[in-house]
Amino acid sequence: MKTLRRLAKALPILLACGLLTSPAVAAPLSGHERFALQLFERLVKDKPNENLFLSPNSVYTALAMTWAGARRQTATEMSRVLGIEGTPDAFHQAMKGSLAALQASRGVKISIANALFMHTGYKFLDAFVGLVEKNYHSTSERVSFLDPEAARKRINRWVVKKTHGLINELIPAGVLQPTTRLVLTNAIAFDGKWKTRFDKDRTAPLPFQTPGGTSVTVPMMTIKAKFPFSSQPSFKLLSLPYTGDAVSMVVLLPTRRSSLAALRAQLTAKRLAAWLGQLHTTEVDVRLPRFSTSSFRKLKSVLKALGMPLAFSDNADFSGLTGKTELKIQEVLHKAFIEVSEAGTKAGASTAVLIGR
């Protein structure tokens, strides 16, 4: 019998990547996994002492829509960061197919919505709007950014609705500017029930040791059942499937002689795929904290560091949006929430790309 404990600190790593590594998303788009892991690693380095939960899929989708309006070197930098291969038409069609397949995942509820909030009276090319509406099923709405607070409230209401109330206040006060001309927004909501559920009566307050060595008392869920499992020299890997077997939460737990930092150093898309291929079903004694957590990050500095600084500069070329080169990305905002309980997992995420003069 295998034992897997002390999971809460490792959990955000794997669930954040889990949707990307499911076949519905990964198959058509080879850059997804690499982008997800690089984004995660940069965000951890940015704030190493904070818990982190994010949806790289949400960030990727919002940036993919933005890339549709990028041209020349701006488009080249973005395509490298996103790992885009092939022609633009092939990429956007692949995104359309993968987002549809993800929402059709058996046994779980996944909803994805995209929207363009365009400045009133500002002309955008029909080709751009049509491409995003066709391939990302985006809606289009006019708002006046001359009243940033009213525009902010309108966009935030849309996010609340599309994430089923899980994400509030994606855009904080003071971020939108009168010079903003477009906000490309993605929202994702997830609701999955465990294929093998935890018994509420077995949940009890138990000590949990953090990576820093301190011990805290948490509501610990416990179960002994057969799960896909793998034991590596420096960590253990467990897959907790949701009903329908289309989506799983994958948990990596460093051994007592290792650490999360050492595990992150090993984590690449290729290695993760290999580790998942080594899973085998066996009886596992699982102790998993019941918890909820949320994260909010501004991604401008992180994305610039990943290799797309031009998109945020005055020399940016987003002429595919309007036919002119007067626009740049002002900021990229991301907020995510997750709740893990005996019944399953609820999660939501939203990303906004702010574009303006």
Is the Cβ–Cβ distance between 2 and 229 less than 8 Å?
A: yes
Q: What are the Cα distances from residue 153, in Å, to 144, 145, 149, 253, 334?
A: 12, 11, 6, 40, 16
Confidence category of residue 259, pLDDT binned at 50, 70, 90: confident
Q: What is the pLDDT of residues 153-166, one digit of tens each?
A: 999 999 999 999 99
- Alpha carbon distance 185, 331 (integer Å): 12
Mean pLDDT along residues 10-15: 40
Phi-psi region of 6 (alpha: psi -120 to 50; beta: other; left: phi over 0): left
DSSP per residue over 94-132, as a string? HHHHHHHHHHT-TTSEEEEEEEEEEETT----HHHHHHH
What is the rounded CA–CA span in Å between residue 335 and residue 143? Answer: 22
Q: Checking DSSP bridges between strand 215-231 and strand 204-209, what pairing results, if any?
A: antiparallel
Write the DSSP symbol of residue 194: B
pTM: 0.91
Contact criterion met (CB below 8 Å) for 236 and 245: no
Residue 26, pLDDT above cutoff 70: no
- Residue 2 has what pLDDT? 54
- Kindly list the structural domains of the chain, giving each domain's residue range(s) and its CATH number in brackets, ordered by start: 13-192+292-356 (3.30.497.10)
Q: How confident is the model over 262-288, as a mean pLDDT?
A: 89
Residue 23 has pLDDT above 60, yes or no: no
**At 72, is the pLDDT very low, low, confident or very high (cuts 50, 70, 90)?**
very high
